[in-house]
A and B are shown apart, each in its own frame.
Chain A
């Protein structure tokens, strides 16, 4: 009878012991084992055996990448502009024992570290370069906090700046600035156009005057030549010229009389003399 009780108790002890001694760690996790309160070892994925009753698994740490959202914060740039920046960080716990014993809450620690480092980095940059050089910020961030997190057995795989926005008032003044800039350009363009138009107009006038003058010269030259040729043709023989002039004179008279406004036409009595007088003047 006693033998059965002892055997049953022994069975119970063995079952509990074996259950406490065997640890299955899933892939992607590592378990920290403490022996009587002190760190003893880190269990890797798979089946592990620990000494029951004196060893205990105290922390189950994921070794997959952890995605951390770094909350938005206001940052003042070198040229005293306020921008709002938030980031996303990917960290990986390389040494679980360091992460467990080196820092109270590694996620909070890294989040604060990234926030302050981001503030410091953007604080050294002018607004325009901060808005446009994300890659540089990323590199500086990684280099800046690498040493700080080395004690915690954590690797910062990457930090991505998610949004980097000027604050509301900054945005309004930036928009105003760009609008003003565009307005300035429009005004300049308009003035340029007016100037061009005026210049072109003046050039046109100049060109026209030049051509007018040239035309006058050509006309005068042509008159001179025609007079010369008439003179050459007439020489001392006045009669045909007088006849032609008379004919033209009479024709002109006829045309005057034909126009339908009221008129009084005074004709010279001695037509021939009148024409002759003209001719004498020419001579």
Chain B
């Protein structure tokens, strides 16, 4: 069997396998098969020039695939920007700047702020702030806790209203 395989696996087998794997990407939502397919095509191309034993071909294929996947995840995929924050409530809220419209006298560090546009379906939110803020100062959202925002005083409070 081993000899048979060694004798009968031609370079174009690898290339066809590569294309089949790349096509299999359609069926599996993983973005993995494409790299295995690409590696198989590369192995086929190398086999056309350099004859190799079958185990060597397999090892080369796997190593190439691993390198591909790793490069993809390490350098290429992180550079893809998030195009929409819809359905990501936390991400769309954190970092927003709001205007303090009132401070709760009875409850130090609590109050109400307002955004210029409604965020998460509301433009007025209760907030909790450890810094000293007064109505008119700007605050930046750090976290959400239920229907209350955890905020801190904005650095650029020069443009207070």
Contact = CB atoms under 8 A, between A and B. Distances in A.
B65 A18 contact: yes
Interface string A29-49: 110000000000000111101
Contact of A24 (B29, B36, B122): B29
A40 B77 CA distance: 21
A11 B61 contact: yes
A156 to B, nearest CB: 6
Contacts of A62: 87
Interface in A132-180: 142-143, 146-152, 154-158
Contacts of B54: 4, 7
A283 B36 CA distance: 154
Interface stretch (A90-98, A199-207, A221-229, A255-263): A90-98
A19 B73 contact: no
A10 B54 CA distance: 13
Contacts, number: 106
Interface stretch (B96-104, B143-151, B153-161): B143-151
Contacts of B80: 46
Contacts of A148: 146
B32 interface: yes
Q: Is the interface of A mostly helix, strand, loop or mixed?
A: mixed
Nearest to A64: B87
Interface in B60-111: 61-62, 65-66, 69, 73, 77, 80, 82, 84, 86-91, 93
A1 interface: yes
A11 B61 CA distance: 8
A91 to B, nearest CB: 10
A107 to B, nearest CB: 16
B31 A24 contact: yes
A97 to B, nearest CB: 11
Given A27-B86, A63-B89, A150-B145, A155 B120 contact: yes
A70 B140 CA distance: 34
B5 to A, nearest CB: 7
Nearest to A154: B146
A18 B70 CA distance: 10
Contacts of A92: 89, 120
A15 interface: yes
Given A4-B5, A147-B146, A14 B62 contact: yes
Given A4-B58, A63-B88, A146-B146, A18 B121 contact: no
Given A7-B56, A7-B59, A15-B36, 19 more contacts: A4-B55, A4-B58, A6-B55, A7-B54, A11-B62, A18-B32, A19-B30, A45-B82, A45-B87, A63-B89, A64-B87, A90-B121, A94-B90, A142-B147, A146-B126, A149-B146, A152-B146, A156-B147, A157-B122
15 contacts: A7-B59, A18-B66, A24-B29, A44-B82, A44-B88, A45-B87, A46-B80, A94-B90, A94-B144, A95-B144, A147-B146, A149-B146, A156-B146, A156-B147, A158-B121
- Nearest 9 Cβ contacts at the A-B interface: A150-B146, A146-B147, A28-B87, A7-B58, A3-B55, A7-B55, A150-B145, A157-B121, A146-B146
